């Protein structure tokens, strides 16, 4: 059977695959429209059907602010004197040449339509059909328990906020908030999130992986060889590649920005010879930039695996596919895709390492990558455990259940978010982005710093790292509160013994305390 016949069977399997449903986001609109523009532009509304309910709003030199989504828009105009006029409607028709909203993905119900473009946009038909109830999938899921956005009052990671082309994500202290009415399923937030706290839901990662694996399996079972997986947006036609290459398997996705390291590496692990992300002019610029960043990380890994950058590439519409070495196809993995993206990345990487037997032990990654190691300068570290308390991924852990004070590190958990660096009061922590190929080493806890416990000089109980006690004594020896040896020695005592010594020290309490009677009047 030819590759074309095998592809036909594979596409039948792809089309028949049933995705797990997600909840729906509902919009309700009565069809009320705000037309925004100066008086001359607003006169163009006379050309629209009389059945439309249009409120005309002229900025008249004032400052305009547009907020909301289909069924819940507000247009605020602040005049030069500071007076604010607020108008509410279900939709906004922005007639200005420069739009009031400049997001790359506009909210439903907002139409930027300079009059010269009305005919091309079929504007009248769209506005007439705005009345009713409309639904779309809820594209995301968010787990605040593993979010690295904020730690101890500091903003650590804002990648999803910066990447969202729809402006749907905002900071909420130590977590984020996603507005489901503004979210248009761009997916870039899920690809840039280092922890997987925000996940794509429709399709979810498990379904995406299983659909990809089943499609490749069907292609091979029918005798197809050298499969090339081409991810493309649902509104982008892959016909050019279907005609030019008989081994191309087109995989449609809601938005190209949702395809990250997890799916790309998994496609190679499931037996694809090559993975291509097909981009066109509709892909938001911010999504393309973030996809290229993902490819920078992937290419660093592929290089150490003995594969070139052409094995995972972005192509503009109709461009020729880069050539790859046919001999580097790996035996296809049979496992299911895990639901969390970091697990999916590690699982596919482990399969590729086992198949390709790279000489390198690791790949050095660009600074932005969410994988790597942490180093601690033992000369600076006091084992205060601030870094442990700040780590959102539980990569840094303390040894409090052991007798020796230690900081342990699990590399597979490290997000390279920098929370530990920001939190360390001694500037003792540094990051090094990389990808370890040895699974056991990646998952094993290893000590980054350790110290002997200091025993209280009064009762003998271990209560702090020795280095902490020595540094405290060195820093406080000239302080007026520690002007004699007895006061300085209290730094070598546990909490209980320190309090007991203070209240019995005439120099500390002025002799006003008898441990058997309390304070003397």
Which pLDDT score, from 0 to 100, does residue 318 have? 78
Q: How far apart are CA 224 and CA 226, in angstroms?
A: 7
Instruction: Write out the residue range of the structural domain in which residue 163 sits.
Output: 138-200
**DSSP string for 180-239:** TTT-----HHHHH-SS--EEEBTTBHHHHHHHHHHHHHHHHHTT--S-EEEEEETTS--H
Give the 3-state secondary structure of 436-471.
Answer: ECCHHHHHCEEEEEECCEEECCCCCCEEEEHHHHHH
Whether residue 387 is contained in a domain is answered as: yes
Q: How far apart are CA 93 and CA 116, in angstroms?
A: 14
**Phi, psi angle pair for 318, to nearest 5°:** 75, 0
Of 182, 200, 218, the domain-final residue: 200
Residues 219, 338: one domain? yes
Q: Are 241 and 321 in contact (CB under 8 A)?
A: yes
Residues 477, 508: one domain? yes
Residues 325, 228: one domain? yes
Dihedral angle sign, alpha carbons of residues 190, 196, 201, 205: positive
Q: How far apart are CA 192 and CA 97, in angstroms?
A: 33
Residues 33, 167: one domain? no
Longest dimension (CA), the chain: 104
Q: How far apart are CA 224 and CA 72, in angstroms?
A: 51
- The conformational region for residue 237 under phi > 0 = left, psi -120 to 50 = alpha, else beta, is beta
- Count of positions (residues) in the chain: 521
Whether residue 403 is contained in a domain is answered as: yes
Residues 229, 126: one domain? no
Give the 3-state secondary structure of 411-439.
Answer: HHHCCCCCHHHHHCCCCCEEEEEEEECCH
Q: What radius of gyration, in Å, describes the C-alpha atoms of the chain?
A: 31
User: Which residues are within 8 A (CB) of 232 and not within 5 positions of it... i.e. 6 or more apart?
Assistant: 238, 250, 251, 252, 253, 256, 277, 278
Of 450, 471, 486, the domain-final residue: 450
Of 185, 200, 215, the domain-final residue: 200
Whether residue 366 is contained in a domain is answered as: no
Residues 326, 395: one domain? no
CATH number of the CATH domain containing 152: 3.30.70.20
Collect the ranges in the chain with pLDDT lower than 50: 511, 513, 515-521
Whether residue 367 is contained in a domain is answered as: no
Q: How far apart are CA 312 and CA 277, in angstroms?
A: 8
Residues 185, 284: one domain? no
Residues 124, 268: one domain? no
Residues 11, 63: one domain? no
- Strand 132-137 vs strand 110-112: parallel, antiparallel, or unpaired? unpaired
Whether residue 481 is contained in a domain is answered as: yes
Coil, strand or helix: which one is 158? coil
Residues 231, 335: one domain? yes
CATH number of the CATH domain containing 404: 3.30.70.3270
Q: How far apart are CA 124 and CA 258, in angstroms?
A: 33
Q: Tokens 């230690």 identify what position?
A: 406
Number of structural domains in the chain: 5
Nearest to 249 by CA among 277, 221, 216, 223: 216
Residues 91, 187: one domain? no
Q: How far apart are CA 516 and CA 521, in angstroms?
A: 14
Quickly count helices (H) and strands (E) in the chain: 18, 29
Give the 3-state secondary structure of 301-359.
Answer: HHHHHCCCHHHEEEEECCCCCCCCCHHHCCCCCCCCCCCCHHHHHHHHHHHHHHHHCCC
Q: Are 381 and 449 in contact (CB under 8 A)?
A: yes
Whether residue 365 is contained in a domain is answered as: no
Residues 97, 186: one domain? no
Q: What is the pTM of this model?
A: 0.86
Which pLDDT score, from 0 to 100, does residue 401 have? 62
* Edge-first strand listing for the sheet containing 445-450: 396-398, 406-410, 445-450
């Amino acid at each position: 059977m030819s590759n074309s016949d095998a592809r036909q069977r594979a596409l039948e399997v792809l089309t028949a695959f049933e995705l797990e449903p997600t909840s729906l986001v509902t919009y309700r609109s009565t069809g009320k429209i705000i037309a925004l523009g100066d008086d001359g532009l607003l006169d163009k509304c006379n050309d629209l059907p009389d059945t439309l309910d249009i409120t005309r709003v002229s900025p008249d030199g004032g400052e305009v602010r547009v907020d909301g989504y289909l069924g819940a828009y507000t247009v605020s105009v602040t005049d030069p004197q500071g007076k604010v006029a607020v108008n509410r409607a279900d939709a906004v028709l922005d007639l200005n040449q420069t739009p009031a909203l400049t997001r790359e993905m506009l909210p439903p119900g907002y139409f930027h339509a300079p009059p010269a473009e009305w005919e091309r946009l079929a504007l009248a038909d769209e506005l007439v059909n705005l009345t009713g109830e409309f639904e779309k999938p809820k594209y995301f899921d968010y787990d605040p328990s593993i979010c690295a956005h904020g730690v101890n009052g500091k903003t650590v990671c804002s990648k999803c906020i910066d990447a969202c082309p729809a402006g749907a994500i905002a900071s909420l202290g130590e977590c984020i908030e996603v507005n489901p009415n503004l979210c248009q399923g761009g997916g870039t937030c899920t690809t840039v999130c280092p922890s997987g706290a925000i996940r794509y839901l429709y399709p979810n990662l498990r379904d995406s992986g299983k659909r990809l694996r089943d499609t490749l399996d069907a292609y091979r079972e029918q005798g197809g060889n050298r499969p090339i997986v081409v991810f493309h947006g649902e509104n982008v036609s892959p016909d050019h590649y279907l005609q030019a290459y008989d081994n191309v398997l087109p995989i449609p996705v809601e938005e190209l920005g949702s395809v990250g390291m997890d799916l790309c590496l998994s496609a190679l692990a499931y037996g694809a010879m090559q993975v291509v992300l097909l981009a066109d002019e509709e892909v938001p610029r911010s999504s393309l930039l973030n996809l290229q960043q993902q490819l920078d990380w992937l290419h660093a890994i592929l290089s150490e695996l003995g594969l070139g950058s052409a094995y995972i590439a972005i192509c503009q519409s109709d461009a020729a596919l880069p050539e790859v070495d046919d001999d580097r196809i790996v035996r296809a993995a049979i496992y299911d895709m895990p639901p969390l993206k970091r697990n999916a990345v590690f699982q596919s990487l482990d399969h590729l390492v086992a198949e390709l037997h790279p000489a390198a032990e690791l790949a050095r990654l660009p600074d932005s990558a969410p994988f790597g190691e942490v180093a601690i300068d033992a000369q600076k570290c006091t084992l205060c455990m601030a870094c442990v308390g700040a780590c959102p991924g539980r990569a840094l852990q303390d040894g409090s259940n052991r007798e020796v004070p230690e900081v342990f590190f699990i590399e597979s958990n490290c997000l390279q978010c920098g929370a530990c660096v920001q939190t360390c009061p001694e500037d003792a922590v540094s990051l090094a982005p990389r990808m370890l190929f040895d699974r056991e080493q990646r998952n094993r806890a290893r000590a980054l710093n350790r110290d002997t416990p200091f025993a209280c000089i009064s009762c003998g109980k271990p209560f702090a790292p020795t280095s902490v006690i020595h540094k405290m004594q060195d820093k406080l020896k000239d302080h007026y509160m520690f002007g004699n040896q007895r006061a300085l020695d209290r730094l070598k005592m546990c909490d209980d013994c320190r309090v007991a010594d203070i209240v019995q020290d005439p120099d500390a309490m002025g002799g006003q305390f008898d441990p058997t009677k309390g304070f003397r009047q």
